Amino acid sequence: MPCRSLSFLSGNYYHIFNRGNNRQRIFLEDQNYRFFLKQFQDYFDPEAIELIAHCLMPNHYHMLVHLQKEIDFSNLMRSFSTSYVKSFNSWHKRSGHLFEGNFRARLIDEDRYLTHLCRYIHLNPVTAAFVQHPQDWKYSDYVQWISDPGSDILPNIRVRKRFFGTAQDYQSFVMDYAGEEKVRKEIEKLLFGWID
């Protein structure tokens, strides 16, 4: 297995993503999506890692995470992925690889990339033509981002308030971008490489 050149250090934001082997589906039913998120919560201590934004798509996933403590992120992520694959294979009576390879990661070291990434993650089901509005996709945390629970306890609400202000400001930021296909593709190429 090739050595990962990216270091996972506390205080940094990372875009974590992967897709199905041969672009096959990695979620076949609602239970799969819910189990994936539950396993992530079980494997990663919220005091060590915050899940800032996420979107689970039928054949790939995106997560923006913030590392708060030094942890062996690569090995924990590998264990988490293996646990999901074993369960998925058991449920669907299949064997073998599910993901294209090891998870991929990008350090998000500039505020402008972080803001574009949040928007990109939440618009993923819209640009893939699964839904017309990001709030209609139930496998992301967009609805949480555009609600205002009146609390800074949730990490995604703290990030939203820091970079965008109100829920309405973030919703406008997302929707103003929804039709800009050329810009979207340029950002994808810059930040994510292979993402469709």
> How many domains does one find in the chain?
1
Q: Does residue 4 form part of some domain?
A: no
Q: At 165, which CATH number? A: 3.30.70.1290
User: Could you tell me the pTM of the whole model?
Assistant: 0.88
Rg (CA), the chain: 16
Would you tell me how many other CB atoms lie within 10 Å of the CB of residue 11?
Answer: 9
Structural domain that includes position 70:
13-191
Q: Does residue 196 form part of some domain?
A: no
What is the rounded average pLDDT for all residues in the chain? 87
Give residue-wise pLDDT tens across range 121-156. 999 999 889 999 999 999 999 999 998 665 556 788
Q: Does residue 71 form part of some domain?
A: yes
Q: Does residue 6 form part of some domain?
A: no
Q: Does residue 145 form part of some domain?
A: yes
